[in-house]
Amino acid sequence: MARKVLVLGEIRDGALRNVSFEALAAAKTIAEGGEIVGVLIGDSVSALNKELIYYGADRVVQVENEKLNQYTSDGFSQALLAVIEQENPEGLVLGHTSIGKDVSPRVAGKLSSGLISDVTAIEAAGGNIVFTRPIYSGKAFEKKIVTDGLIFATIRPNNIAPLKKDEGRSGEVTSLSVEIKDLRTIIKEVVRKATDGVDLSEAKVVVSGGRGVKSVEGFQPLKELAQVLGGAVGASRGACDADYCDYSLQIGQTGKVVTPDLYIACGISGAIQHLAGMSNSKVIVAINKDPEANIFKVADYGIVGDLFEVVPLLTEEFKKLKVHS
């Protein structure tokens, strides 16, 4: 059954986040040969519409308004609902990000629609679109189908591979004028606590530290390794509680959920709350002095040793590999 599917392109610092391209790939599966329509919402978004088309959108609808310069629940939901009303799609896909997690239930509520959140895999089977999502903090998975109404889903970053970029693709770009009114929140200033560089939730490599790093300075070797690997630095709640780093780096049940290609856990014991945020990483490497640490139970590779000796050695070896590659 061919379907029209809308995909919200999420913008950060003037560029599309990678999860937007993953959402387009998810939409292709849901559409089953139907039309994929990219949606851009913001103050000035025209420069980004071609990217959505290159990665799979057949056309793009953009909503530009100075009141959409910064994300607010009221503003973005009004804009997205206006696009949905105009396009009348059978499917809607967003990234399972801070924005996606905030705006999707609001929109679903307005539409009296169901919502499948935090999807990690999508497949067409037996005439249905089957969604896989983790439950019980990642200890189990469930499969869901939509039996009636809008197929509405948010996808977890780094789980669905984006389509190959094709700069030869072209598509129509239209603008929709939406009156944004009754905003209850006005953003005066954005203060970023996250570190510069690779976005932690979308990083392909994450080097994470726990209480074993012992201090703020103890994170420096981890930062150097992450930089060499082109990755991001994360942390356990224990490290954040000890003021070794900011809570913006926290990975776990009460922090960020990450699924990188490579997760290097340094001085992390492996509490269940932390495992909930990283256990679905493709390859897990654990470095810990305690051979009985729980983190080794989920690790693909384990190194029993002092992280302050092991991490610098790994950094030097990876530097050599990069020089010879």
Domain boundary among 123, 141, 175: 175
DSSP run (H or E) holding 89:
none
Question: Which phi and psi angles does 264 have, rounded to 5°?
Answer: -110, 110
- Do residues 303 and 261 both lie within one domain? yes
Domain ranges, residue 37: 5-175
Distance CA 167, CA 234 (A): 34
- Do residues 46 and 167 both lie within one domain? yes
Q: Total structural domains in the chain?
A: 2
Distance CA 52, CA 310 (A): 42
- Do residues 171 and 218 both lie within one domain? no
- Do residues 315 and 222 both lie within one domain? yes
Distance CA 100, CA 123 (A): 21
* Distance of alpha carbon 319 from the chain centroid: 28
- Do residues 113 and 227 both lie within one domain? no
144 lies in some domain: yes
Calculate mean pLDDT across residues 263-282.
94
Dmax of the chain from CA atoms?
A: 61
Calculate mean pLDDT across residues 64-93.
96
Q: What is the CA radius of gyration of the chain?
A: 21
Lowest mean pLDDT among 55-64, 171-180, 195-204, 293-302: 195-204
240 lies in some domain: yes
pLDDT at 261 over 80: yes
Calculate mean pLDDT across residues 220-229.
96
- Do residues 159 and 237 both lie within one domain? no
Calculate mean pLDDT across residues 5-21.
95
Specify the CATH number for the domain of residue 220. Answer: 3.40.50.1220
Specify the CATH number for the domain of residue 64. Answer: 3.40.50.620
Calculate mean pLDDT across residues 293-313.
96
188 lies in some domain: no
Q: Which of 212, 289, 279, 294 is nearest to 245 (CA)?
A: 212
- Do residues 66 and 212 both lie within one domain? no
Mean pLDDT of the chain: 93
- Do residues 43 and 136 both lie within one domain? yes
pLDDT value at residue 127: 85
* pLDDT per position as a tens digit, 92-133: 999 999 999 999 999 999 999 999 999 999 999 888 999 999
182 lies in some domain: no
- Do residues 204 and 166 both lie within one domain? no
Question: Which phi and psi angles does 5 have, rounded to 5°?
Answer: -125, 130
88 lies in some domain: yes
Distance CA 112, CA 91 (A): 14
pLDDT at 323 over 90: no
Q: What is the DSSP letter of 53?
A: H
* pLDDT per position as a tens digit, 24-35: 999 999 999 999
- Do residues 135 and 209 both lie within one domain? no
Q: What is the pTM of this model?
A: 0.86
181 lies in some domain: no
40 lies in some domain: yes
195 lies in some domain: no
pLDDT value at residue 190: 78
- Do residues 44 and 161 both lie within one domain? yes
Residues 6 or more apart whose CB falls under 8 angstroms from that of 110 comprise: 77, 81
- Do residues 38 and 74 both lie within one domain? yes
Calculate mean pLDDT across residues 294-301.
96
More confident residue, 139 or 124: 124
